[in-house]
Amino acid sequence: MDQGTPGELAGRHILLGITGGIAAYKTPDLVRKLRGAGADVCVVTSAGAQQFVSSTALQAVSGRAVRHSLWDEAAEAAMGHIELARWADTVLIAPATANCIAKLARGQADDLLTTLCLATTAALVVAPAMNVRMWQHPATQSNVALLAERGAHLLGPAEGEQACGEYGPGRMVEPADICKALTSIDPGQAVLGPHATDPADNSLAGVNVLITAGPTREPIDPVRYISNRSSGKQGYALATEAARMGATVTLVSGPTALPVPPGVKRIDVLSAQDMLTAVESQLDQTDLFIGVAAVADYRVAAVANEKIKKTASTRDGITLDLVTNPDIIATVAATAGGPITVGFAAETHKGLEHARGKLERKGLDMIALNDVSDQRIGFSSDANALTILWSDGEQQVPMQTKAAIARSLLSKVVELFNPRLSVRSPTP
């Protein structure tokens, strides 16, 4: 069995909850990897998990007695369950069954593990594993969305062949990948809801942030247009969080149904050309530009002044000539002395390759890749997951609310570009 990279999880207190799925047989390997990376691991098993993996094996690899009952007097005397809930900086449930996820969503506490989940303020990380149909069931999907909305981190499930003989999403993410994902999860992040942010984080104080969000609308005639499914939610979440972190925020927004975030100045636009004009008008006072808008790549070459009517000549169809719209973010990135630029890439396949290509071609400092083929995230959803790429690195941000994603992205911008941001906006 491989061990994790030494030191990556040094000092971490991980409470590993194992529930009753066949993937539980992989958990001794998971414990070895977590410990190999430096974490202290305490294992708690559900009644179902004990059918799949032995406490003897888990005790041997974790170096601690395995906990499974609220009513174990000796174990409670050594470390009571509330103490255990406080000890953990991360509660990792792997594998998490549909039943366990349903109990967590309801806040039910009918065994030691679910009681601990209610009693802890540690980060909650859930690696689901179950039959593909159980995973796709609307009940499970709505439970998972609720957990993500409350700030839980979801890892997987992975797609592939299942123990039951079916194929699809439902496999537990491999132990090495779980271990790696934990290194990018902030252990101090309490699961208190979508706005569990640190009010003392003022790391964008004095920074002028310009964000584009939402779709653009490209007119065909006075009543018709070409647009896309962007809801604007991720861009608005970034504006909200940047303002919370002390930035002065201007949001250039295409048409959305969202309210103006508190403390944010919004400029409403419709077309890509309007959006570019609005962005250029703000550019000389911008330190950080984040292009989240789903800008239409093309617009109609000749917009009709009057509504296009069905006539004998158009009865069999019409052809619209489209011309290419300006690339707003590439224009910003090419501006001499311009701001730090962060783009978004919504991709359905070969995501990393396409996103890195865009980072280089458009001359960006950073790009956030969104896998829009994943039905649980993207467009209108309240949850999202990203891979952030920059010139010589990349980092996964696991599935969370769009607010938590925004916070992680902005923290990464501060971490990587703080010297450049501070030079542009010297503190008085």
**CB of 353: closest distance to ligand C5P in angstroms?**
13
Residue whose token pair is 């993996």: 53
Name residue 412's amino acid: K
Q: Catalytic annotation on 42?
A: no
**CB of 366: closest distance to ligand C5P in angstroms?**
10
153-212: contacts with ligand C5P (CB under 6 A): 212
State which residue, 103 or 358, has the beta carbon closest to ligand C5P. 358
* Residue 28: its H or E element: helix 27-36
351-410: contacts with ligand C5P (CB under 6 A): 358
C-alpha span between 192 and 61 (Å, rounded): 32
Q: What angle do CA 183, 377, 167 make, to 5 degrees?
A: 85
Between the CA atoms of 20, 21, 23 and 24, what dihedral angle is there, to the nearest 10 degrees? 10
DSSP string, 54-123: -HHHHHHHHSSPPB--TT-HHHHHHS-HHHHHHH-SEEEEEEE-HHHHHHHHHT---SHHHHHHHH--SE
State which residue, 83 or 297, has the beta carbon closest to ligand C5P. 297
Stretch that binds ligand C5P, among 43-51, 129-137, 239-247, 326-334 (CB under 6 A): 326-334
Identified catalytic residue from 42, 100, 117, 164: 164
Looking at 131, 325, 381, 387, which residue binds ligand C5P (CB under 6 A)?
325
Contact flag: residue 344 with ligand C5P (CB under 6 A): yes
Cβ(385)–Cβ(405) below 8 Å: yes
Contact flag: residue 16 with ligand C5P (CB under 6 A): no
C-alpha span between 405 and 403 (Å, rounded): 5
Nearest to 401 by CA among 88, 85, 124: 124
Total number of residues that touch ligand C5P (CB under 6 A): 15
Counted residue by residue, the chain has a size of 428
Contact flag: residue 345 with ligand C5P (CB under 6 A): yes
C-alpha span between 88 and 90 (Å, rounded): 5
State which residue, 133 or 361, has the beta carbon closest to ligand C5P. 361
47-106: contacts with ligand C5P (CB under 6 A): none
Classified as helix, coil or strand, 31 is helix
Stretch that binds ligand C5P, among 59-67, 156-164, 337-345, 413-421 (CB under 6 A): 337-345
Contact flag: residue 218 with ligand C5P (CB under 6 A): no
99-158: contacts with ligand C5P (CB under 6 A): none
SS3 content of the chain, % helix, strand, coil (to 5): 35, 25, 40
Looking at 242, 328, 389, 416, which residue binds ligand C5P (CB under 6 A)?
328
Nearest to 277 by CA among 294, 252, 302: 252
State which residue, 25 or 298, has the beta carbon closest to ligand C5P. 298
Contact flag: residue 327 with ligand C5P (CB under 6 A): yes
Contact flag: residue 241 with ligand C5P (CB under 6 A): no
Q: What is the CA radius of gyration of the chain?
A: 24
Looking at 343, 351, 378, 398, which residue binds ligand C5P (CB under 6 A)?
343
* Interaction mask 284-303, ligand C5P, x per CB under 6 A: -------xxx-x-x------
> Which positions lie near ligand C5P, rule CB under 6 A?
212, 272, 291-293, 295, 297, 325, 327-329, 343-345, 358
Q: Which residues are catalytic?
A: 164
